[in-house]
Amino acid sequence: MKSLTFIKRKLREKSFKPNIFLINNHLQTIIGVTSIRSNKIIKKAIRKKFRIGDDFIEGDCYWQMNKKKFATIIIVHGIGGSSREAYILRLIKKGLDNSYNVIALNLRSCGGTEKISKRLYNAGDSKDI
C-alpha cells in the first residue's frame, strides 16, 4: 500500500496546466460544475447501503477487478450534492485510473437516500464519515 508521504510527493511533482481555453479560474469553475457527466462511470457503480447506528446512508462503490489488493478512496460530496455530481465523477475516474477502489458516499437525505434516512443531512455532523 502506498504511504501518505509517497502520495503527497507525487502530487507535488505534477504541475497543473489548464486547457488553453480555460486559463481563467472563473471559467474553470463554471465548466467544472456544468460539464457533462460520464454515464460510463455511473454504470460501473455498485450501490451499497451502509448502516450508521440505527440509520443508513448509501454509497456508489467502484472496485478494481484485478486480484491485487488496492487502497480505497472515500469521496464525500459538498453541501446539497450527491455521488453523481460532475466533479465527483471526475474524482472517481482519477482514482480508478490510478488503481484505487473508490467509494462515493451520499450523505443522509442526499442523492436519493431520502427514503432510507431517518433524519436530514447536517453539514456540521461528521459522525457519518
| Rg over CA atoms, the chain | 16
Q: What is the CB-side half-sphere exposure of residue 99 using CA atoms within 13 A?
A: 8
Q: End-to-end CA distance of the chain, in Å?
A: 22
Cα distances (angstroms) measured from residue 95 to each of 55, 84, 98: 28, 15, 5
- The predicted model scores a pTM of 0.69
pLDDT, tens only, 23-50: 888 887 777 666 666 667 777 889 998 8
pLDDT, tens only, 39-85: 677 778 899 988 887 778 889 999 988 767 678 999 988 887 888 88
Cell numbers for 36: 457533462
